[in-house]
Structure 1
Amino acid sequence: MSDIHIRIAGHTGRITFTRTKALNALSYDMCIAIENALDAWRENDAIKMIVIDAVGDKAFCAGGDIAELYKTGMNGDYAYGRKFWADEYRMNAKLFEFPKPVASFMQGFTMGGGVGVGCHGSHRVVGDSSQIAMPEVGIGLVPDVGGSLILAQAPGRLGEYLGLTAARLSAADALHAGFADYYIPEEKWPALIVQLEETGDWSLIDTAAQDIAPGALAQQSAQINAHFGGERLSDILTSLQNDDSAFSQGTLKKLSRNSPIAMGATLELIHRVRGTPEIRFALDQEYRFTFRAMEHGDFLEGIRAQIIDKDRNPQWKHTLDALPPMAVTNMVLPLGTDRLTFEKEEPTP
């Protein structure tokens, strides 16, 4: 496949994003290719570990390929998106649960769907160009692909802050927030990957890792914890509005750009997921929202404003100061027979 290069190299299973013109955006076919590789490598004793990287210096994977999602959704076909998300989430779960070490080398942008591939492994490497984010609320979605689990496990109320503001993380911030494990200068990555292929010895990553000074987020932890501990979005807004600090005013500006219903649901999901180590629970909760996102949420309008027309002026269904609690609740109710099952459809003979 021209968008992704999957092969066995020495003692490693290798996955390389090669779709550089699209910032290595993750398509449906790429999701399935990754899942098939995981299934094939799981019981292959010759493979000691998996190494995931990407071609190009701008992005590891800047997110999911949403063009087809938008096209089908605007035509009233919600089934395509629901299948895309269900199959992607199944792949995310298999990566998280893979019984061998999984190393990812994440330069440049790692966002959305890229987080679902790069941030569920055991050895997550960042460098000086790394920028990691879960920006879904800006297009009317919730942080998904298991991102809600990482956010829920972040220190203090950092997960709420990142999920609602869509803030980008530097290498130091990603380490602090739990999206990465190691900082290694990017010029050292190629030689290290060759060594991993030759030996299958994942401890080489520990040896190569270097210390890095704390980032801006660690210094803002007191303010983040003070304002993002509320039960509902309205609680957080009230707290920020009653504080005239530069942090609060800047944060309010960030929140004003995003979908209110998506932010309200994001907060609810992080609270539900906190305390569980199970990615499948997180993915199940996320799927409740994404299943409904086109038909009942802001997703299609968010894509129109940010990607299609690029007017950056989305007309959200609700305003920040008038978000009905039931609107959020309805987006994350159980799906009954439509629930996420993690079952893989086998091809017909």
Structure 2
Amino acid sequence: MTEPEVLFDVRGGVGRITLNRPKAINALNHAMVQQIAPQLDAWAADDDIDLVLLVGAGERGLCAGGDIVSIYHDAKEGGSSTKDFWREEYILNAAIARFSKPYVAIMDGVVMGGGVGLSAHGNTRIVTERSKIAMPEVGIGFIPDVGGTYLLSRSPGELGTHLGLTTARMDAGDAIAAGFADHYMPSGNLEKFCEALETGLLSDALAEFTEEAPESTLDAARSWIDRFYSADTVEEIVDGLRGSGIEDAEKAASDIESKSPVSLKVTLKSLRRAAAASSLEQVLDEEYRVSLASLDSHDLVEGIRAQVVEKDRNPKWSPATLADVTEADVDRYFESLGDSELGLEKNA
């Protein structure tokens, strides 16, 4: 028999959600969202549930992101299933952020894209020495979504801009410094911590099993990150990094230049607009517009093809360079969807 892709169980007042696709590093699909959302609603209203615990099956990671191969085929065929998936996924992201009880996410191993959406909006976020957290979207011709631009834009200084444009991975110390996580726990303590939640208070379990977080190399680089990423355009950011004489900054410039030019420019605009937004719901509404525009773009299909499907690691971006991306190319991503708007802010 096929294993369920999401497991739910209740022990000692703890409602546990286990993402159960370990061979795919628990990549998130539409069916999983459709199972998690109503269960979370039910537990929110259940007085016997004290907290929710999110974990991933296997040891590779909580969740490697959305099932982008399915998105690739849907985009190529002009289908609508991805639009429906994103709509329900973003609604779930908002529900997690406003969940009224402790929502404890174990961000162990790989946590990217959609995995960040399931975990980093929670109110209790735990990382380990194995954590590798990122928003890698511009590398596949996409733009950070699932509330990612909200989180990135609220990282200290320009850390979020650096992370969004380079797709750099955060370790435990970086994730805490950037505001994506709250607590550091050695992976060897996780099982005992989860057991302790079933018999005692969350605060006591955190006090017993968490430790001081490792230092963040990302935070230590704030001086040059804040300086160069505060520029108004991606071109200015790259030029500043390239001419800095700082090895890590010059590497960041090369990382940025390998990504989709239009995705980079849309991402920078998205981050600046998210920083001025009044709520996560407002940001998710805009991310939905941007995501649907991406679905109709050349670069999303090409990026997934090159990085995941054919794996030649040689995407042919269009427009090919930052200079070729026009203001109209960028503005198209932010156009109203009319009756198809997500509408989370209106209904919040």
Q: TM-score, normalised by structure 1?
A: 0.94
Q: Secondary structure at the match of 2:218?
A: helix
Whether the 8 Å CA contact 1:101–1:122 is kept in 2: the answer is yes
What is the DSSP-based 3-state SS (H/G/I as helix, E as strand, rest coil) of the residue aligned with 2:175? helix
1:261 corresponds to:
262
Counterpart residue type for residue 323 of structure 1: V
Q: 1:137 to 1:200 in 2, by over 3 A?
A: same
Counterpart amino acid of residue 308 in structure 2: I
**Aligned AA (1:309):** E
Whether 2:290 is the aligned partner of 1:289: answer yes
Indicate yes or no: 2:135 matched with 1:134.
Answer: yes
Question: Partner residue of 1:35?
Answer: 37
Distance in 2 separating the partners of 1:271 and 1:234? 16
Aligned to 1:184: 185
**Match status 1:221 vs 2:213:** no
In 1, the alpha carbon distance for the partners of 2:228 and 2:200 equals 48
Residue 331 of structure 1: CA displacement?
0.9
CA contact (8 A) 1:63 1:113 kept: yes
1:248: Cα distance to partner? 2.7
Identity of aligned residues (%): 35
> Is residue 113 of structure 1 aligned with residue 108 of structure 2?
no
Measured in 2, the distance between the counterparts of 1:103 and 1:96 equals 12
Matched residue of 1:199: which SS?
coil
The superposition leaves residues 102-161 of structure 1 with CA deviations (integer Å, 9 ceiling, x where unpaired) of 001111100000001111111100110000000001011111101111101100001100
Q: Secondary structure at the match of 1:128?
A: coil
Q: Shift of the alpha carbon at 1:243?
A: 2.4
Q: Following the alignment from structure 1 to structure 2, what is the Cα–Cα distance between the partners of residues 261 and 130?
A: 29
Q: Distance in 2 between matches of 1:70 and 1:32?
A: 20
Separation (CA, whole Å) in 1 of partners of 2:298 and 2:288: 13
AA aligned to 1:27 is: N
When residues 145 and 203 of structure 1 are mapped into structure 2, their CA distance, relative to the original with a 3 A threshold, is farther
1:3 Cα deviation from its structure 2 partner: 1.5
Q: CA deviation at 1:292?
A: 1.1
Q: 2-side partners of 1:212 and 1:81: how far apart? A: 37
Q: Give 2:53's match in structure 1, choosing from 51, 54, 74.
A: 51
Segments of structure 2 that go 5 or more residues without pairing to the other structure are none
* C-alpha distance in structure 2 between counterparts of 1:260 and 1:250, whole Å: 17
Which residue is equivalent to 1:60? 62
Hey, what's the Cα distance between the residues in 2 that align with 1:54 and 1:207? 22
1:346 match: none
Whether the aligned pair in 1 keeps the contact of 2:284 and 2:344 (CA below 8 Å) is: no
- Offset at residue 86 of structure 1 (A): 0.7
State the match for 1:347 in structure 2: none
Asked if 1 retains the 8 angstrom alpha-carbon contact of 2:29 and 2:66, the reply is yes
1:275-314 equivalences under 5 Å are 275-276=276-277, 278-314=279-315
2:11 aligned with 1:9: yes
SS at match of 1:16: strand
The corresponding residue for 1:333 is: 335
* Partner AA of 1:40 in structure 2: A
Q: In the aligned structure 2, how far is the partner of 1:206 from the partner of 1:33?
A: 32
Does the Cα contact within 8 Å between 2:243 and 2:250 map onto a contact in 1?
Answer: no
Length, aligned pairs only: 342
Q: Could you tell me how far apart the structure 2 residues matched to 1:280 and 1:159 are?
A: 19
Residue 24 of structure 1 aligns with an amino acid whose one-letter code is N
Structure 2 distance, partners of 1:145, 1:107, is 19
- Partner letter of residue 66 of structure 2? G
1:339 counterpart letter in structure 2:
E
CA gap of 1:34–1:202, structure 2 versus 1, over 3 A, is farther
Is the CA contact 1:49–1:202 (under 8 Å) kept in the aligned structure 2?
Answer: no
Gap regions ≥5 residues in structure 1: 344-349
Counterpart code for 1:48: D
For the residue of structure 1 that corresponds to 2:296, the secondary structure is helix
| CA distance in structure 1 between the partners assigned to 2:324 and 2:10 by the alignment | 54
Give the Å deviation of 1:245.
2.5
Q: Who is 2:105 aligned against?
A: 104
The aligned counterpart of 1:86 is 87
Aligned to 1:223, the other structure's residue is in SS state helix
Q: Could you say what the CA RMSD is over the residues aligned between the two structures, in angstroms?
A: 1.6
Contact 2:116/2:148 (8 A) holds in 1:
yes
CA-to-partner distance for each residue in 1:251-296, whole Å, 9 max, x for gaps? 1110122111111111111111114452111111111111111213
Paired AA for residue 267 in structure 1:
L
The C-alpha deviation readout for 1:82-113, integer Å capped at 9, x for no partner, is 11111110111111111111001111100000
Change (3 A) 1:146 1:297: farther
Aligned equivalent of 1:144: 145
CA–CA distance in structure 1, aligned partners of residues 156 and 343 of structure 2: 30
Q: Which of 315, 321, 326 matches 2:323?
A: 321
Asked if structure 2 preserves the Cα contact closer than 8 Å seen for 1:12 and 1:50, the reply is yes
* 1:306 positional shift: 0.6
